């Protein structure tokens, strides 16, 4: 169930980013069209936030909440759990 939810959420975010790329490519044909700049700017911003959210979730899940043999990553994990307890 959880894997299906993660896969669905990740697919939704990647699909949204792909849609924003398609919109940007559509407007790339005529970049001087009046709506091209605002649509591209808003689309790029939204896609960046969506992809950064997915990346943050992956880092949180795999670095912050799993033990690691790499001392740097283990230190990050320990600091995360100490901060949670404060």
Residue 25 or 66: the one with the smaller Cβ distance to Zn ion is 66
Contact track, Zn ion, 35-64, x by CB under 5 A: -----------------------------x
Residues 64-83 that bind Zn ion (CB under 5 A): 64
What is the closest distance, in whole angstroms, from the C-beta atom of residue 62 to Zn ion in the complex?
11
Encode 8-47: b = buried (16+ Cβ within 10 Å), e = exposed: eeeeebeebbeebeebbeebeeeeeeeebeebbeebeeeb
| Residues near Zn ion (CB under 5 A) | 64
């Amino acid at each position: 169930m959880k894997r299906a939810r993660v896969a669905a959420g990740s697919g939704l975010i990647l699909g949204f980013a792909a849609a924003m790329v398609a919109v940007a490519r559509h407007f790339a044909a005529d970049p001087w069209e009046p709506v091209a700049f605002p649509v591209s700017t808003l689309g790029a911003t939204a896609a960046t936030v969506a992809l950064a959210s997915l990346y943050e979730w992956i880092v949180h899940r795999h670095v912050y909440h799993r033990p690691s043999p790499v001392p740097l990553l283990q230190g990050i994990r320990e600091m995360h759990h100490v901060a949670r307890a404060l």
